Amino acid sequence: MTQWSLAQLLSGLHDDIQHKLQTSRTCLGHPGTKGDASESVWLELLDRYLPKRYQAAKAFVVDCEGAFSDQIDVVVFDRQYSPFIFLHHGQTIIPAESVYAAFEAKQTLNAELVRYARQKVASVRRLYRTSLPIPHAGGTYPAKPLIPILGGVLTFESDWSPPLGQSLDAVLRDGAGEDRLDLGCVAAHGTFSLDDRTEEYSYDQGSKPATAFLFNLISRLQFSGTVPMIDVQAYGRWLSA
């Protein structure tokens, strides 16, 4: 009889991600190609293991006022209640109301990447989001408060020694408000996560960071609830622009 092991299944999930990221780093010569491969690894992980109400894609985010974010390597967005996702010449464009999280994905973690990721995440968070009252059989629920958009970084390794030490903590603490990073994964070394109550970062240098990050992200998405009901007509007014 086959003896199943949950520990081995979870370990295998991380090992697969780390192997793919390492292969991208060692076998691909062009920096842009390496970056694209890294993004693909993380997108594949999230699309495979997140609940189907969520989807992950490299995308731009747009609001009903016509403002766009920077291009984001990994956007986690709602697919169950989102009425439209634009696909234009290979580019994905997502309405701001549908976004749960935005991540920058690169090969190596360093101060430059953290600052760059903060700018990218801020470009999403500053977009305007609508929220309509929700009709139901007995009447109407009030408009849902906007959920916080998570932001973070995803890499294979770190330039720092130690990889998740004071140097990382210092540059993370430079962020506040719209450019704050909430969580991240360095697949070869560990994960970090911000506690919203204490506003302190914690660092886990466990042996299976990719799996730990996935579980942390799913948990945060569970507690964030559902995205607000989008005002489609606010976007529709651009038809006559």
Alpha carbon 15 to its chain centroid, in Å, reads 21
Given 34, 106, 120, 208, the catalytic residue:
106
Does residue 106 have an active-site annotation? yes
Please count the other Cβ atoms lying within 10 Å of the Cβ belonging to residue 209. 23
Given 39, 63, 104, 179, the catalytic residue:
104
Q: How far is the C-alpha of 176 from the C-alpha of 183, rounded, in Å?
A: 14
Given 39, 63, 73, 179, the catalytic residue:
73
Does residue 179 have an active-site annotation? no
Which helix (H) or strand (E) segment is 171 a member of? helix 166-173
Does residue 104 have an active-site annotation? yes
Cα dist from 125 to 96, 100, 148, 218, whole Å: 8, 10, 8, 20
DSSP code for 239? G
Beta pairing partners, 90: none
Q: How far is the C-alpha of 232 from the C-alpha of 230, rounded, in Å?
A: 6
Beta strand residue intervals within the chain, DSSP E: 54-62, 72-78, 86-88, 91-95, 99-105, 108-109, 134-136, 139-141, 150-155, 157-158, 183-186, 190-195, 200-204
Residues involved in catalysis: 73, 104, 106
